[in-house]
Chains A and B, each alone.
Chain A
Amino acid sequence: MAADTTVYKEIEGKGGDYYSLIIWLGLMVLGGLGSMYYMEHNGHVVTGMTNGIVWGTPHVFAVFLIVAASGALNIASIASVFGKYHYKPLARLSAMTALALLAGGLMVLVLDLGRPDRLIIAMTHYNFKSIFAWNIILYNGFFVIVLAYLWMMMERRMQPHSSKVGLFAFVWRLILTTGTGSIFGFLVARPGYDAAIMAPMFISLSFAFGLAIFILIINVAYRASDRPLGDLILFKMRNLLGVFIAAALYFTVAQHITNLYAAEHSGVEAFILMDGGIYTFLFWVVQIGLGSLFPLALLFNPATGRSCQGIAVAAILVIIGGLAQMYIIIIGGQAFPMPLFPGMEVSSSFFDGAVHPYAPSLPEVGLGLSGMAAALLIIAIAVKFLPLLPTSLSDAKVDPHHKAEEA
């Protein structure tokens, strides 16, 4: 592989805009910590979560961020594993974004625990039959491997070895997302889960979520720091995002078609697709319409697909659609009653046979958003103190042959 001649430099990060960004993100993180204190002090009774909806809005954000984290590493993997040199200049930020998103997601997950003070127990007591326990190992391993990968990319002496670590990180992230999807795939009793497709679907979702976030970060970082950002790399990422959205859509369609075919799953499918109220709205309007089809149209329409704004709007929509999809999977999957006696009408004081009601509470939303803020805060601080961003992503820098072709 050719030597990397890209010049990386810390952003100046001195203007009022930068500091106000830091302050706003910091306040959001503090808001999340306040939410956590409120929830832990009073108990989860102050949230919208119940004995029926045991995982709520914090988990929507947490799983979204964790899935997006592994996807954000893709840009680096494309460069080091698949040898696409155009993406090489972005590899450092890609790795940093992956670390930050994972940290943000795990922060939310841990702070929502009934006993977050017992985190040390989660790190020292392992039940190896639990996919959750494996995930704890996979997440910790991800931090170590991606940090090593980032260091090797940044340390000139280690650069020749970075692609090997990059390959390892790529394999690890595939296993990690398989583990995240399997949290739901392995739940045998709930009709909304219990499906092997969860694992590959989560991998396809991670590609789309991670890249959408990454595109936005690149856009904001280059605009705010007045560094050149050429169309070449942006359009490459646009095409990639389109493919990833289509892949995620494919798995979603396959999941529902398979369920529709099995009579035993007709109940849960009717709930999500037809008469689930908020879940049906979120599925058709937000996940499929706004989060998948509309961004595809924006990306591949010549008018919007060739503009920075058009691509950025598509990326924002993918994130909103992704959060909706997580909401449908996590909360919709619990809201639909578990069949205690299949084919029978069941009722009890514990919501048997009835749709579990759920309304997100402010502290839950605050905690969830703080995870996103924490991830962005880490990235904003990292690009100021570490040489992560190339000084230029102009077409000529991204592809030396590009200019020659035009000349």
Chain B
Amino acid sequence: MSDKTMNTVDTSRRNILKGGAAAAVVTLAPGVTLRTVEAAVTGPATSAKRWGMLIDANAPEGVWDLAVEACKTEQGWGPEANKSGKANDSTDPQWIRKVSVKDPKTGAKATLPVMCQHCANPPCVDVCPTGASMKREDGIVLVDKHICIGCRYCMMACPYSCRSFVHEDVKGQKPHMPRGKGTVEACTMCVHRVDKGQKPACVEALNKAGSDAIMFGDLNDPNSDISRAVSQYVTQRIRADLGVDPGVHYRGI
């Protein structure tokens, strides 16, 4: 990817951070582009919304691999994105991962995906010295990579180990998701898609495969599918005892 494209990317990302706008790039002639910033379909991020997810841990285990792969493809992370071409298990970022849980007393098992839980009281945002870790009004927790100094205190603080540090040079970055060696990154709940009225990539991938194991929507809207579902079933949130009020609910743990 050329530096010029990277500059374009930066601008669009800033607008995403401000809350709900997307950039369009029109090529007028070779090398001449016109950039316009259009308002997001969903309007500016407001606290009237609380984006959240409901994950059904009873879904067949295979669907979670689809979700992980969809996230990698959409956001451009994973061992394939290392410039070195080498995979490093302990340092490669994992924005979403498949976790197996087993009750040692009963032998009951479940497999579920874990990603940034988009807490209402996010410890990563509390501890970040520069304010790079931030929560949008609509509950989406992001890292402003322009002011992340790479101290990793947010990774120390996250109760879910959901943040990754970019340990080496990366390649194949997506225009909507610039990544940088030396900064921290995590699931953005596909904010670039959500602001255009679309679903996160993992949700869409499962829907395409005929699964609704991950439901996405506005938890503040009593008429949304997700609100109806969480009011109908008893759901759990991981480490709810910490009081961080995650935006991701689970069923069947």
* Structural contact, A132 and B104, CB atoms closer than 8 A: no
Q: Does A5 contact B (CB under 8 A)?
A: no
* Structural contact, A113 and B99, CB atoms closer than 8 A: no
Instruction: Provide the bound-state CA to CA distance between A45 and B238, in Å.
Output: 30
Chain B min CB distance to A125 (Å): 4
Instruction: Provide the bound-state CA to CA distance between A351 and B91, in Å.
Output: 11
Known contacts being A45-B88, A340-B114, is A121 close to B152, with CB within 8 Å?
no
* Structural contact, B93 and A132, CB atoms closer than 8 A: no
Q: Does B12 contact A (CB under 8 A)?
A: no
* Structural contact, A52 and B149, CB atoms closer than 8 A: no
* Structural contact, A114 and B166, CB atoms closer than 8 A: yes
Number of chain B residues whose Cβ lies closer than 8 Å to a Cβ of chain A: 56
Give chain B interface residues in 156-211, CB to chain A under 8 Å.
Answer: 156-161, 163-169, 180-184
Known contacts being A45-B167, A127-B129, is A121 close to B114, with CB within 8 Å?
no
Chain A residues near B126: list those with CB within 8 A: 129-130
Give chain A interface residues in 84-120, CB to chain B under 8 Å.
Answer: 113-116, 118-119
Chain B min CB distance to A284 (Å): 26
Q: Does B89 contact A (CB under 8 A)?
A: yes
Instruction: Provide the bound-state CA to CA distance between A345 and B109, in Å.
Output: 9
* Structural contact, B101 and A43, CB atoms closer than 8 A: no
Chain A min CB distance to B141 (Å): 14
Instruction: Provide the bound-state CA to CA distance between A340 and B110, in Å.
Output: 13
Selected contact of A345 from candidates B94, B102, B130, CB within 8 Å: B102
* Structural contact, A113 and B98, CB atoms closer than 8 A: no
Number of chain A residues whose Cβ lies closer than 8 Å to a Cβ of chain B: 53
Q: Does A20 contact B (CB under 8 A)?
A: no
**Of all chain A residues, which has the CB nearest B98?**
A348
Chain B min CB distance to A129 (Å): 5
* Structural contact, A133 and B101, CB atoms closer than 8 A: no
* Structural contact, B161 and A349, CB atoms closer than 8 A: no
Chain A residues near B156: list those with CB within 8 A: 54-55, 187, 190, 334
Chain A min CB distance to B224 (Å): 27
Q: Does A341 contact B (CB under 8 A)?
A: yes
Besides A113-B182, A341-B101, 5 new A-B residue pairs in contact (Cβ under 8 A), listed by A number: A45-B167, A118-B150, A189-B239, A347-B99, A352-B114
The chain A residues found within 8 Å of chain B, CB to CB, are 40, 42-45, 49-52, 54-55, 113-116, 118-119, 121-122, 125-127, 129-133, 135-136, 183, 186-190, 334, 338-352, 356-357
The chain B residues found within 8 Å of chain A, CB to CB, are 84, 88-94, 97-104, 114, 123, 125-132, 147-153, 155-161, 163-169, 180-184, 238-239, 242, 253
